[in-house]
């Protein structure tokens, strides 16, 4: 099939390509989807091969000059560590000029004229990039006290945001197939059990949630006001690494970070009573309204438990959504925690999704408890040690890797740290996209674990680091 006239439309505006229908996106015939993805991959490789220095080097080494089939890209998939491949000393010594040069090798955006005068913190560096370029860098904490930086552009962020609503609508149908459907343009009251702002993957996505799900800031309520600091997240990662090495007593804090002590003291006020405050001032006022509530499982459960203790049941209006994930973060939950959340909120089924900061897609569980991948996301299952692609047929278990066709200013192909089982055959739910078992495991956990600070643990890590910073800089 010839997709020459539609491939650019598909990869540059997937929401409009599918007429903003999550159902349409999940019901493309497999053969047609393969051809469409191959055409998109060829286009991205042709456009980016000689414009992103790291990709150029990898393609030259593999002697790859064109793509003929999807598996050709397996040799071009970056390890997820590429986005933290800079010397850690550059962050420790605030060498943001060198960090900018490093970042420029991963993006098509010209960073040569970025003015970094007076920049000595990560937050200030990322803000300077935002003010002077199209970049909206995502950061996350990684292993061994380092931090990843993904050079996404404003255009790519908007592309991602535009798919959020259509993906969510399809997930809502999966959670409540016989439920009452509301008008497509009806907004939700959005309640997020985390920080209102930040440059991590979840905080970046929040802007899309506010625009496309809440419709305005007035319908958005976070658990914590203010911004999650990238500098404090870096400190959190360093703390975990130092603790593992028994070196916490020698951990140094930069003068620039010490100078912000008052800011972090303010951010930590009332953190301990945040859930109670949120319930009293927001949740009770949302009774009978259409709500989208999301956060880590333990926080959502605490909200439900508080509500049930007050005799509140089936609080939200039909069509509401409760999205959990990230585990219980060490909390011990009762065996019926999910039923308690459903009883309090009134939703027939909770929603969960599989994804990561590197991907511009939310891949939701269907009614058969399978994560369905979005059509602009090309999955690979790799042999765990050798990295060779396993057949794109039947059921395969191995290391998850992806190519995100929505990425246009950086290379969308990378290898994850997850072990997944993918079924390439159409799901019994009727969707035709490849789907992943809900049981996903990190290879590092199988080998004894690592010190990764995940998105799910970000709030807790940020709070612990802020408390340490406050106490360490006290008079």
391 alpha carbon, distance to own chain's centre: 27
**Which of 137-141, 373-377, 471-475 has the highest mean predicted lDDT (pLDDT)?**
373-377
Residue 322, pLDDT above cutoff 50: yes
Residue 464, pLDDT above cutoff 70: no
Residue 474, pLDDT above cutoff 60: no
How many Cβ atoms are within 10 Å of 334's Cβ, its own excluded?
Answer: 10
Of 159, 168, 284, nearest in space to 221 by CA: 284
Residue 472, pLDDT above cutoff 80: no
* Residues 364 and 351 sit within 8 Å (Cβ to Cβ): yes
* Ramachandran category for residue 282: left, alpha or beta (phi over 0 → left; psi -120 to 50 → alpha): alpha
pLDDT at 414: 92
CA distance 464 to 475: 19
pLDDT at 444: 72
pLDDT at 287: 93
pLDDT at 319: 87
* Residues 340 and 307 sit within 8 Å (Cβ to Cβ): no
> 391-450, pLDDT tens digit by residue?
999 999 999 999 999 999 999 999 998 999 999 999 999 999 999 999 988 877 666 544
- Which residue would you say has higher pLDDT here, 217 or 329? 217
* pTM reported for the whole predicted model: 0.88
pLDDT at 63: 95
How many Cβ atoms are within 10 Å of 1's Cβ, its own excluded?
Answer: 9
Helices (H), 79-153: 89-92, 96-104, 122-132
pLDDT at 237: 74
Mean pLDDT of 320-325: 88
Mean pLDDT of 376-381: 97
Mean pLDDT of 234-254: 73
Structure tokens at 319: 């069509």
The region of weakest confidence among 14-28, 75-89, 457-471 is 457-471
How many Cβ atoms are within 10 Å of 218's Cβ, its own excluded?
Answer: 9
pLDDT at 475: 46
pLDDT at 147: 83
pLDDT at 232: 83
Of 43, 48, 51, nearest in space to 5 by CA: 43
- Which residue would you say has higher pLDDT here, 90 or 153? 153
Element (H, E) at 435: strand 435-437
% pLDDT > 90, the chain: 57
Q: Sorting pLDDT into bands at 50, 70 and 90, what band is 356?
A: confident
The region of weakest confidence among 94-98, 197-201, 405-409 is 197-201
Mean pLDDT of 144-170: 88
The region of weakest confidence among 113-127, 228-242, 312-326, 386-400 is 228-242
How many Cβ atoms are within 10 Å of 249's Cβ, its own excluded?
Answer: 6
pLDDT at 447: 60
User: b vs e for 230-245, b when ≥16 Cβ sit within 10 Å of the residue's Cβ?
Assistant: bbbbbbbbbbbbbeee
- Which residue would you say has higher pLDDT here, 325 or 421? 421
Quote helix, strand, coil % in the chain, to nearest 5.
Answer: 45, 20, 40
- Which residue would you say has higher pLDDT here, 220 or 141? 220
Q: Sorting pLDDT into bands at 50, 70 and 90, what band is 325?
A: confident
CA distance 291 to 191: 7
271's CB contacts (< 8 A; 6+ apart) are 224, 463
Mean pLDDT of the chain: 86
Of 305, 282, 166, nearest in space to 220 by CA: 282
Element (H, E) at 198: strand 189-198
* Residues 340 and 308 sit within 8 Å (Cβ to Cβ): yes
Residue 5, pLDDT above cutoff 80: no
pLDDT at 190: 95
Query: What does the DSSP 8-state code read for residue 135?
Result: B
Angle of helix 274-281 relative to helix 297-309, nearest 10 degrees, comes to 50
Of 78, 76, 45, 250, nearest in space to 148 by CA: 78
């Amino acid at each position: 099939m010839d997709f020459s006239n539609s491939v650019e439309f598909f990869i540059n505006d997937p929401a409009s390509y599918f007429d903003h229908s999550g159902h349409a996106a999940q019901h493309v015939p497999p053969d047609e989807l393969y051809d469409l993805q191959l055409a998109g991959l060829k286009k991205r490789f042709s456009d980016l091969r000689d414009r992103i220095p790291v990709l150029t080097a990898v393609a030259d080494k593999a002697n790859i000059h064109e793509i003929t089939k999807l598996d050709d890209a397996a040799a071009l998939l970056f390890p997820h560590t590429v986005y933290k491949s800079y010397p850690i000393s550059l962050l420790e010594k605030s060498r943001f000029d060198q960090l900018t040069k490093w970042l420029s090798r991963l993006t098509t955006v010209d960073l040569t004229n970025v003015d970094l005068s007076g920049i000595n913190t990560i937050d200030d560096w990322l803000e300077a990039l935002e003010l002077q370029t199209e970049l909206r860098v995502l950061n996350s904490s990684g292993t061994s006290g380092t931090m990843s930086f993904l050079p996404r552009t404003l255009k790519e962020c908007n592309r991602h945001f535009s798919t959020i609503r259509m993906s969510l609508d399809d997930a809502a149908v999966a959670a409540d197939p016989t439920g009452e459907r509301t008008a497509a343009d009806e907004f939700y009251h959005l309640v997020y059990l985390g920080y209102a702002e930040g440059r991590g993957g979840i905080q970046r996505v929040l802007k899309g949630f506010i625009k496309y799900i809440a419709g305005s800031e007035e319908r958005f309520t976070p658990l914590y006001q203010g911004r999650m600091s990238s500098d404090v997240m870096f400190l959190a990662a360093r703390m975990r690494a130092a603790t593992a090495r028994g070196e916490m007593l020698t951990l140094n804090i930069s003068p620039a970070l010490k100078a912000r002590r008052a800011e972090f003291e303010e951010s930590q006020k009332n953190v301990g009573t945040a859930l109670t405050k949120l319930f009293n001032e927001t949740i009770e006022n949302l009774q009978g309204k259409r709500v989208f509530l999301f956060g880590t499982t333990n926080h959502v459960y605490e909200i439900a438990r508080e509500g049930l203790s007050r005799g509140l049941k089936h609080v939200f209006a039909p069509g509401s959504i409760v999205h959990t994930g990230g585990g219980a973060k060490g909390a011990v939950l009762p065996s019926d925690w999910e039923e308690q959340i459903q009883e309090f909120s009134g939703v027939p089924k909770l929603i969960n999704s599989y994804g990561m900061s590197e991907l511009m897609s939310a891949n939701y569980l269907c009614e058969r408890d399978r994560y369905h991948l979005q059509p602009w996301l090309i999955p690979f299952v790799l042999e765990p040690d050798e990295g060779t692609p396993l057949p794109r047929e039947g059921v395969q278990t191995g290391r998850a890797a992806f190519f995100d066709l929505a990425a246009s200013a950086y290379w969308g192909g990378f290898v994850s740290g997850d072990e997944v089982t993918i079924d390439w055959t159409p799901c019994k739910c009727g969707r035709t996209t490849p789907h992943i078992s809900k049981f996903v495991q990190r290879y590092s956990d199988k080998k004894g674990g690592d010190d990764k600070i995940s998105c799910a643990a970000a709030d807790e890590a940020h709070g612990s680091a802020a408390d340490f910073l406050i106490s360490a800089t006290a008079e």
